Amino acid sequence: MIESFQNILRIPDLRKRVFYTLALLGVYRIGAYIPVPGVNLEALKQLMASQGGIFGLVDVFTGGNFSRLTIFALGIMPYISASIILQLLTVVVPYLERLQKEGEIGRRKITQYTRYGTIALSLVQSFFICVTLARMSGASGQPVVPDASWGFYFTTVLSLTTGTAFIMWLGEQITERGIGNGISLIIMAGIVVGLPSATFGLISEALNDQRGIISILGLLAVMVATVMGVVFVERAQRRIPIQYASRVRGRRVMRGNATFLPLKVNTSGVIPVIFASSLLSLPMMMIGFLTERWPSLSVLQNQFNYNMPLWDVGYVALILFFCFFYTSIIFNPADTAENMKKVGGFVPGVRPGKHTAQYIDDVLTRLTFAGALYLALISMIPIFLLSGIPLHLIWPPAVGDFFGSWVPRFILDGMRVNFFFGGTSLLIVVGVSMDLVSQIESQLVMRHYDGFLKGTRMRGRRG
């Protein structure tokens, strides 16, 4: 491992790219200490501590910027949302579909539209953040925004939108001149920055006898098992064998060769989780507005709160749905079968054309279902570790009392451990780390050095 780092430093171009990447990530972290003006930080801290839940998950992705309302509070999420929306629109908008097939020129045009969409989403999200904070107070009763004037709205919207645009520029610069995917590295940096404090907090709890040794060992076992599971599933693929028939070119006879079509278990990545989290906030807001008019709906509102039974069921259901939906968008079995048929390829034992498309679709459906269950499980792990699965709060009360009497308390209450020890954040960190190692290794191998991990080869994340 030490020799591999020495090899990186020996290559001027690779060394320059690595240091450039680290420098821009350092610039991103500086923004975490520049708060938006006009906010009572103490009242905001009290508010975020009492809210938790979905706000805690957003705060992890933004590297703590959201809870402190810095200029980078929106993070890179508007850019990701705009990218996903553009990908979905390519299915229904013929113009975008044509751009997607035009190669580099079309890709640049779509990237430009993605930037415009990022700015638009940032403006909308920052305005709603201003409206929400202006109505809230801390635990001590102090307002989060002492002077909720139009000057505050203008300054905050401008600061948050500019911050997101700057993060987007940093990510593009890292991708172009640094090493790795810049946007992914920024998200990873926001997650990893919270690991030391979470680790020291856990150690402090153990030293102060606030958490027993059995609990610590159980937590470590969950962490190791989660990491192993993420690595295994992210690399897992179903290889469909493909045979190419012999072809005659002039006087030469090209012998047919055998290859395979790799289908990943988790084709959609972490996108279904992001979509599910975003959509779940809509019914929560609607029910909140309806409850102000009809107080009798307060029972339904409580059931749709974060990590309540209805929220958990909806979260898992949306993850399953978006796994199938997004996979159907990015992979078309009919086009794949048609392209294979044009070059003389076929799956042994399956007729070319329509039958091959149906065969690939059946395999992909089974893989997607397994990948969807995997994503749902990984996404629920941090929720379970933090606050458990409150089956005892199910409505009607008689059903909740039944579960409360028979289900162990550690399942109902969780282990009160923060998000950093599993789930979606770990999925992102492990995936980006493997992709980064793969890119560094390819640079070393291209220059006749051993790989980053000596004695092995790291396959590309998409390979």
pLDDT, position 182: 85
Fold classification of 221-422 is Preprotein translocase SecY subunit (1.10.3370)
pLDDT, position 9: 75
Contact 427, 443 (CB under 8 A): no
Dihedrals phi, psi of 263, to nearest 5 degrees: -120, 120
User: Position of tokens 């308390």?
Assistant: 409
pLDDT, position 274: 72
Contact 48, 69 (CB under 8 A): no
Q: What burial class does residue 33 get, using C-beta atoms within 10 Å of its C-beta: 0-12 exposed, 13-18 middle, 19+ buried?
A: exposed
- Pick from 79, 77, 72: nearest CA to 160: 72
DSSP 245-274: --EEETTEEE---EEEEEEESSTTTTHHHH
- Pick from 288, 285, 46, 75: nearest CA to 144: 46
pLDDT, position 463: 38
User: Position of tokens 């009798």?
Assistant: 296
Q: Which CATH superfamily is domain 1-193 in?
A: SecY subunit domain (1.10.3370.10)
Distance separating alpha carbons of residues 239 and 224, to the nearest angstrom: 28
SS3 343: coil
Distance separating alpha carbons of residues 281 and 315, to the nearest angstrom: 10
pLDDT, position 91: 76
The phi-psi region of residue 75 (left if phi > 0; otherwise alpha if psi is between -120 and 50; otherwise beta) is left
Distance separating alpha carbons of residues 341 and 353, to the nearest angstrom: 6
146: DSSP letter: S
Distance separating alpha carbons of residues 214 and 446, to the nearest angstrom: 48
Cα 238 off chain centre by: 23
How many CA atoms are closer than 13 Å to the CA of 324, on its beta-carbon side?
A: 13
pLDDT, position 250: 61
Which tokens in the block code for residue 402?
Answer: 């039944």
pLDDT, position 243: 85
Q: If the chain, 463 residues long, is cut into consecutive pieces of 10 residues, what is the mean pLDDT of each piece?
A: 69 85 90 84 76 60 76 85 81 82 82 92 88 77 81 90 92 88 83 76 75 75 81 87 74 70 85 75 66 68 73 86 85 86 84 89 92 87 74 72 74 65 70 79 69 52 41
Q: Do domains 1-193 and 221-422 have the same CATH topology?
A: yes
Q: What is the pTM of this model?
A: 0.74
pLDDT, position 199: 75
DSSP 366-422: HHHHHHHHHHHHHHHHHHHHHH---GGGPSSHHHHHHHHHHS-HHHHH-----GGGS
pLDDT, position 420: 56
- Domain locations in the chain? 1-193, 221-422
pLDDT, position 460: 47
pLDDT, position 283: 67
Which CB contacts under 8 angstroms, 24+ apart, belong to 406-414?
411/384, 412/388, 413/387, 413/388, 414/383, 414/384, 414/385, 414/386, 414/387, 414/388, 414/389
248: which strand partners? 253
11: which strand partners? none
Contact 63, 193 (CB under 8 A): yes
Helix (H) / strand (E) containing 239: strand 237-244
List, for residues 327-386, the tens digit of each pLDDT value. Answer: 887 888 888 888 888 878 888 888 888 899 999 999 999 999 999 998 888 888 777 777
